Amino acid sequence: MNTTTDHAPGTPAGVVREHGGPDIWCEDLVRIYSTEGVEVQALQGLNLVVDPGDVVALVGASGSGKSTLLGILSGLDRPTGGRARVAGVDLLTMNRAQRVDYQRHVVGFVWQQTSRNLLPFLTAAENVALPMVISNRTDRRTRVAELLDLLDVGGCADRRPSQLSGGQQQRVAIATALANSPAVLLADEPTGELDDAASEQVLEAMRTAAQELGTTVLVVTHDPTVSDHVRRTVQIRDGRTSTEVLRQRVVGADGVERVVAREYTVIDRAGRIQLPRQHVQDLGLRDRVRIEKETTHVQVWPDDQDHGLPPAGGDDAASPTSAPTTSPTTAPASPEDAR
Ligand SMILES: Nc1ncnc2c1ncn2[C@@H]1O[C@H](COP(=O)(O)OP(=O)(O)OP(=O)(O)O)[C@@H](O)[C@H]1O
């Protein structure tokens, strides 16, 4: 077992990890809701891996399963099938006492509704201190001040939530969620009730938490500006992770630093990928496609059987009127390569 302490000098103590793997690890996660005899499969074999200290945005259409996933990762809900670990903790085998401990120490949570995150009759400082009172932490006073300063709400310590703006409330809520040094911070639409400027500050506060404390952040959001604040955006479609955008800062030959974003399609353990809906529509792909393996990538071709074309593989295999669908070069040549 590895133990790593991730924190920058002069900042509040970071998280302590006693595991060597990713902070979030989900494999073939399934969640089926049954209400009045009707089954809804909210998660349909979802796979997700997030490394320690990463900041990841989870996006997707309404009903795609984002909140269901956060509910499971926060320990509020149990999956129907599959496997999930957070900071080394197996979410499927936790007993009641372990679940309480998990919610207190391993994960922190921020909800969309500002009023749901903080107790209205306590000041900002008292709200941040409360989780530490419950867990008998002795360095409360210093840690409250450090966290509020880190999230740029140090001047609000003695104010109650009703005396704070929405953005300030959410930053105090982040400080409260971080009080017991959780390895992972989960947030469900934390900027949903905020204007652009306040949203910007809240997303930046989460990035600061990751940078300065080593906290891993997973944030569900519809906020279009989120891409400026996260390295990785994961899209959920129909209860599965479908695509990802990774951003990297690179310095060009002209010496200017730029952010380069690249979109990837997620491949699961069985080698399945979901083609982008737009490609499927544009090229009229349906029922079946033909896959050809090249040295470094695979190609996906429309089914040409109905068009009187020569058999697959020949030089003339492509229909002159149909553009070839080339799968992203990130798709490995075989499922084996994906493992
Ligand atoms: N408690 C529940 N009982 C029955 N069905 C549910 C329950 N919670 C969620 N669902 C269903 O599961 C699916 C996924 O819902 P979920 O709330 O996870 O989606 P979401 O991506 O978070 O959506 P939104 O962006 O609108 O919040 C939806 O079809 C939803 O109706």
- What percent of the chain shows pLDDT beyond 70? 85
Question: From the CB of 235, is ligand 1 less than 6 Å away?
Answer: no
Checking DSSP bridges between strand 55-59 and strand 216-220, what pairing results, if any?
Answer: parallel
Amino acid letter at 94? M
| Residue reference for tokens 């059987």 | 305
- What percent of the chain shows pLDDT beyond 90? 53
Q: Where are the beta strands (DSSP E) in the chain?
A: 4-6, 15-17, 24-35, 38-50, 55-59, 81-86, 89-90, 107-110, 184-188, 216-220, 232-237, 240-251, 257-265, 289-293, 298-302
How many whole angstroms from 68 Cα to the centroid of ligand 1?
A: 6
pLDDT (average), residues 214-227: 87
- Expressed in angstroms, the distance from the first to the final Cα of the chain is 23
pLDDT at 247: 85
Q: Measuring from atom 30 of ligand 1, which residue has the nearest CA?
A: 63
Mean pLDDT rounded to a whole number for the chain = 84
Q: Measuring from atom 8 of ligand 1, which residue has the nearest CA?
A: 68
Residue that wins the pLDDT comparison between 323 and 22: 22
Q: Measuring from atom 18 of ligand 1, which residue has the nearest CA?
A: 65
In the chain, what are the helix, strand and coil shares in percent, each to the nearest 5? 30, 30, 40
What sign does the CA torsion over 66, 68, 69, 74 have? positive
pLDDT at 324: 42
| Residue reference for tokens 């867990």 | 135
The DSSP call for residue 155 is G
pLDDT at 2: 43
Amino acid letter at 298? V
pLDDT at 132: 94
Question: From the CB of 42, is ligand 1 less than 6 Å away?
Answer: yes
| Residue reference for tokens 């003695």 | 158
Question: From the CB of 60, is ligand 1 less than 6 Å away?
Answer: yes
Question: From the CB of 67, is ligand 1 less than 6 Å away?
Answer: yes
Amino acid letter at 210? A
pLDDT at 153: 95
pLDDT at 152: 93
Alpha-carbon Rg for the chain in angstroms: 23
Q: Over 70: is that where the pLDDT of 7 sits?
A: no
With beta carbons less than 8 A apart as the criterion, state whether 294 and 240 touch. no
Domains of the chain, earliest start first: 4-244 (3.40.50.300), 277-338 (no CATH)
- What confidence tens digit (pLDDT) does each residue in 240-290 have? 888 888 888 888 888 888 888 888 888 887 888 888 888 899 988 988 999
How many whole angstroms from 152 Cα to the centroid of ligand 1?
A: 34
pLDDT at 27: 92
Q: Which of 32, 64, 221, 222 is the pocket-test mutation for ligand 1 (most atoms within 8 Å of CB)? A: 64
How many whole angstroms from 24 Cα to the centroid of ligand 1?
A: 21
φ and ψ at 73, to 5 degrees? -65, -25
With beta carbons less than 8 A apart as the criterion, state whether 32 and 46 touch. no
pLDDT at 226: 81
Q: Which of 26, 30, 38, 40 is the pocket-test mutation for ligand 1 (most atoms within 8 Å of CB)? A: 40
pLDDT at 316: 45
CA distance 130 to 156: 16
- What confidence tens digit (pLDDT) does each residue in 285-324 have? 988 999 999 999 999 998 876 555 555 554 444 443 333 4
pLDDT at 250: 87
How many whole angstroms from 163 Cα to the centroid of ligand 1?
A: 33
Q: Over 50: is that where the pLDDT of 160 sits?
A: yes
CB within 8 A of 27, min separation 6: which ones?
47, 82, 83, 84, 269
pLDDT (average), residues 208-232: 88
